[in-house]
Amino acid sequence: MKLFTILFAALFALALVSCGDDTTTKPVDTDTAGTDDTILDDTQPDDAGETGDDAAATEEDPVQDDVVPVEDDATIVPDETTDELTDELEDEDTEQPDENNPLFDTFVGTWAEKLILKSDTKTMIGNVSSTTTRYKLGKISVENGELKSEQTICKIDNTTSQGDTVFYQKFCEIYWYWRPGELSNPKPDVTVTDNGGTISFVENRSWELRGMQKMTNPETDPMPTAANDSRIFDHDGDGHPAFTLGFTSTLIKGDMYLVQRLSHEMTGTYIPGDGAFGAGSNPDKITGGVNWTDHQYTVDATNPTLKSQTESTILNDESTFIYVRVPDTFTCDDVYGQKDALFN
């Protein structure tokens, strides 16, 4: 009798298991797309060209519950097998990227920046040596486990062996911009490495374009070769084609209407100080070299001498940069107004 009771109970339990509910749920698929646009104010990531020189839509599939009929011969998984599967899932490493890398803390903050870009250009009046100096204000932060840099171009000065190029303020404020993460080989804005106590700093290559419609790929798309190229437009809104730069010397004066594409990458070393720039302080600095490119097409000019197309040789070995840590309250006026003390 006792054996019969045990057998009956086992069969009853088996029947309950076979009649149980079994459903599957399709996961939600979410796609996010982003767009970028022209920078029209002076709070933007980096870099302007020089004469010697950026609505997420979410689609969600409805969740569907498909009831799967239970087969009479459904396999019963022993409890110990289920426990093993559960333990394996719990042991999976789900750790997220570390956004608290202590090395990042070294660079988070506000920096006054000076770039010196050197080139030689062949023109109708001979070989022209050019030095373009760009003053910027940068803010570095940590986002999604990477260093992110937001930069404002404050002022651009240029001197040549034949005169000075005039970069109107719009040149600092209006341009197409591609961050390093938007290129064919995406990278963080900034990469830093501790090499046995020496901390290297790389601001990865970014691109700027002025004077024409935005390119699909700034690394490979062709530049205009004719003034009637349909991509050229009045980018700075001054009534003239492309983008306006001035030139002044004792012999030549006038405006040039240019399409210009520039890129740059900076590699340097962190030099620790005692904090931010201030009276009697020794601020943190980053110094190194600039690897840059510059492509131009002259659409027109007010002076025929300035209208000719030029061929420039970039002098990367002579191009340098220096970053100086400054208080978070610093403005572009502070950077340019105190440039001699900052970058001595």
- pLDDT tens for 8-48 read 444 344 333 344 444 444 333 444 444 445 555 444 444 44
Spatial separation of the C-alpha atoms in residues 140 and 147, rounded to whole Å: 7
**Contacting residues for 99 by C-beta, under 8 A, at least 6 apart:** 142, 144, 145
Measured CA to CA, the distance from residue 278 to residue 293 in angstroms comes to 34
- In whole angstroms, give the CA distance from residue 188 to residue 88: 34
Between 286 and 65, whose confidence is greater? 286
The mean per-residue pLDDT over the stretch 143-150 comes to 96
Closest CA to 53 of 180, 200, 209, 235: 209
Which of 30-34, 212-216, 303-307 bottoms out in mean pLDDT, i.e. has the lowest? 30-34
pLDDT higher than threshold 50 for residue 104: yes
Asked if residue 107 lies in contact with residue 190, where contact means CB atoms within 8 angstroms, the answer is: yes
| Angstrom distance (rounded) from CA 222 to CA 116 | 27
Residue 53's pLDDT is 54
Average pLDDT over residues 1-9: 41
pLDDT at residue number 40: 52
Mean pLDDT of 266-291: 94
**What's the average model confidence in pLDDT over 65-77?**
43
Of 27, 25, 24, 28, the C-alpha closest to 68 is 24
Report the predicted TM-score, pTM, of the whole model to 2 decimal places: 0.73
Name residue 322's beta-bridge partners: 114, 287
Contact (CB, 8 A) for 275 and 237: no
Least confident of 23-37, 102-116, 125-139: 23-37
pLDDT of residue 250: 87
CA distance 236 to 170: 7
Question: What was the pLDDT predicted at 38?
Answer: 56
Instruction: Return mean pLDDT, the chain.
Output: 80
